[in-house]
Amino acid sequence: QVQLEESGGGLVQAGGSLRLSCAASGRTFSVSAMGWFRQAPGMEREFVAASPWSGANTYSADSVKGRLTVSKDDARNTMYLQMNSVKPEDTAVYFCVVRKGMTDVQSFNIPQVWHYWGQGTQVTVSS
């Protein structure tokens, strides 16, 4: 199995930036994709962004496109969510996710396709 350890959450002022990190450990040799979800208070879980582990293409939800960007460090099995120009509406618990088997990128927004989830890290944006 894969263990995911997040860091980087916290309190940030609207318009500011944060970078969330997620380090994968364990049986990471078959990891095929990584990404991020979030869940705001009283809201449903929402897809944020994801990318296949191999390749440079990324896929983002319309609500975060241009502001929240996923990236990775292949050698360290670490993924990141760069959060720029944050808004109070970005306040949520953010989860990093990883899957092992291949899947089409059009399924990235479906929680069920992701095999492993991090513990979640709180991001709070003040107005």
Nearest Cα residue to 63 out of 24, 26, 101, 90: 90
Predicted confidence band of residue 105 (pLDDT cuts 50, 70, 90): confident
- pLDDT tens digits, one per residue of 14-26: 999 999 999 999 9
**At CA 71, angle to CA 80 and CA 37, rounded to 5?**
60
Residue 30 has pLDDT above 90, yes or no: no
Q: Which two tokens stand for residue 3?
A: 């263990």
Let me know: does 2 contact 117? Beta carbons within 8 Å.
Answer: no
Q: Sheet containing 18-26: which strands, arranged edge to edge? A: 2-7, 18-26, 78-83, 68-73
Residue-level pLDDT at 74: 85
CA distance linking residue 73 with residue 107, whole number of Å: 23
Residue-level pLDDT at 104: 80
- How many Å from the N-terminal Cα to the C-terminal Cα in the chain? 40
- pLDDT tens digits, one per residue of 34-46: 999 999 999 999 9
CA distance linking residue 116 with residue 110, whole number of Å: 13
Instruction: Describe the chain by its helix, strand, coil percentages, rounded to 5.
Output: 10, 50, 40
pLDDT, mean of residues 97-109: 87
| Mean pLDDT of the residues in the chain | 94
pLDDT, mean of residues 39-54: 94
Could you identify the residue written with the tokens 């899947």? 103
Residue-level pLDDT at 22: 97
